[in-house]
Amino acid sequence: MSGYRPPLEEILFVINSVLDYAAIAALPGYQEATPELAAAILAEGARWCEERLAPSNAAADREGVCMQSDGVQVPAALADLYGEFCAGGWPTLVGDPAYGGQGLPHLLGFAIDEMVQSANLSFSLLPMLSSGVVTALKRFGSDAQKALYLPRLLSGQWSGTMNLTEAGAGSDLGAVGTRAEPCGDHYLLSGQKIFISWGDHQLTENIVHLVLARTPDAPPGVRGISLFIVPKYLHDDTGALAERNDVRAVSVEHKLGLHASPTCVLSYGDRGGAVGYLVGEENQGLPYMFAMMNHARLEVGLQGVAVAERAYQQALAFARERRQGGALILQHPDVRRMLMTMRALAQGGRALAYSAVAHWDHALRAPDREARERQQRRVDLLTPLVKAWCTDIGNEVASLGIQVHGGMGYVEETGAAQYLRDVRVAAIYEGTNGIQAMDLVGRKLLRDGGEAARELFADLEAELAQAMDGDLAALAQGARRSLDDARRGVELLLAGAGEDPALPGSVAFNLLMSMGTAVAAAALVRGARLTLVQGAAGPALARVHTARFFVEQIAPRSGAWLQAVSSGASATMALADDHW
């Protein structure tokens, strides 16, 4: 297995040049987060991930997790690494300074997250979930809840989880059956949740579970869901820990991948009721949880990019050493095709994912309300693209990594298989990619009549126009064709959705993939143009070649996706139920 070397130069280029980090650092509240400070932070993060975290990936995967009498045990190496992670201040990076955070831009934190995910994806889920709990409580928690929980979550002293899924309910949150009975100043919860990542472990003093449940008089369906804080250990108002709460892990899932991340079945109320505290108002749990979910969806999309990067590095290292037919396989055209596909998809995914978070920083901090609203529309539109497109390409790249290794990729010793095992779930959790596609067409495109999409297309068109008269004219024209395919797909959806109720669901995934490809192509062409503008030479020119490969070899997929959208829902829905 090869080591992992964070692609620091490429990350800095995307942040500083493609996404204009200096403009983000000039936003109110971010002025101290200069490009120089960001570069220093990223360099230190890269060093720790490469030297300390990445070497644990394969060993932790082999050791896995297990149930013991005192709860879930995780690989021993992760305990020291988590302590180092917290001591380095990494969980506090983008947190609110009022609660112990450093208040740095989310784009900077996102870049650190990519390196942590590449180094050890199982490990990365622990701080990721805590960040999501922080996001939800900061927006909807009471002042007392914020004062008690946020400093401990931000420091990493306590960790957090999301508790949504129940057996038999899956993604249907309207079917949630966990109960919450009022009891004085708190509630008593009973029920069971499944698929709870990092639901139990010994790395933190306490675990803060955010749990969806129903109160006795709640209306049916999603309108009757409330959100509760259920700590693993009870505590007083100062945070001093008391007895164990009535919540326990009863088993851990035996998964395809992410073996070092404990995915638990949690049981609430086996001994009378787990003490829980209402977040916000009753029956508002779904919108509260979506604040956490949207943050998680961007992070999960980044997982696709992070694993793609590491799988690419692994395959490239193998291709530089493996000889076949008297030559290194790196010289074989078909191997180069696979490696260039891996490289181009990883870099396109990074540009897409980072751009969404750059817009998020502007949406949070821009001084003008209209500008904030426009930026938020862009974040909302890009979120399903980031989650679904980036995790799909993560799976494709990890699979190609095995193919580059040949038979050696199919055995565990090389390490190539772990990346495919680990990333496979990213297309499933935090809302399957099919759900992301339905979110795109239903909540984004149809709800606003395509307004946000037209804004996006206009901005990308203007960006590509800057490259139309120079050395990159052919690349810009190719990216524009992909953009035109996506634009036509959106218009076909808007024109036909009212006539055929099956159309949105039938074409949603193809339309999402078309849009994701177009955005990534435009971003890579922008990067290529800026590389030439800056007078780059030598290895930096690889960006231009990578953009060319993407436009020539990957972007044409948009034409096929447009053809599928144009064909409508007929073939998808034609087979009678009793003919399957």
DSSP 160: E
Residue 430 bears catalytic tag: yes
DSSP 49: I
Query: Between the CA of residue 144 and those of 141, 281, 291, 488, what are the distances in Å?
Result: 8, 15, 20, 50
Catalytic residue among 36, 430, 455, 499: 430
Radius of gyration, alpha carbons of the chain: 24
HSE of 489 in the Cβ direction (CA atoms, 13 Å)? Answer: 32
* Token pair of 488 as six digits: 């036509």
Size of the chain in residues:
580
Residue type, 209: H
Helices (H) and strands (E) in the chain, counts: 19, 14
**What is the full DSSP assignment across 419-464?**
HHHHHGGGGTSSS-HHHHHHIIIIIIIITTTTHHHHHHHHHHHHHH
Rounded Cα distance, 135 and 292, in Å: 6
With 0-12 CB in 10 A as exposed, 13-18 as middle and 19+ as buried, what is 568? Answer: middle
DSSP 18: I
Residue type, 4: Y
DSSP 183: E
Rounded Cα distance, 431 and 388, in Å: 9
The three state secondary structure string of 500-546 is CCCHHHHHHHHHHHHHHHHHHHHHHHHHHHHHHHCCCCHHHHHHHHH
Q: Is 192 helix (H, G, I), strand (E, B) or coil?
A: strand
Q: How far apart are the first and last CA of the chain?
A: 44
Query: Between the CA of residue 360 and those of 16, 124, 370, 377, what are the distances in Å?
Result: 16, 21, 14, 10
Question: Comparing C-alpha atoms, which of 415, 545, 344, 540 is closest to residue 4?
Answer: 415
429: left (phi over 0), alpha (psi -120 to 50) or beta: beta
Catalytic residues: 430
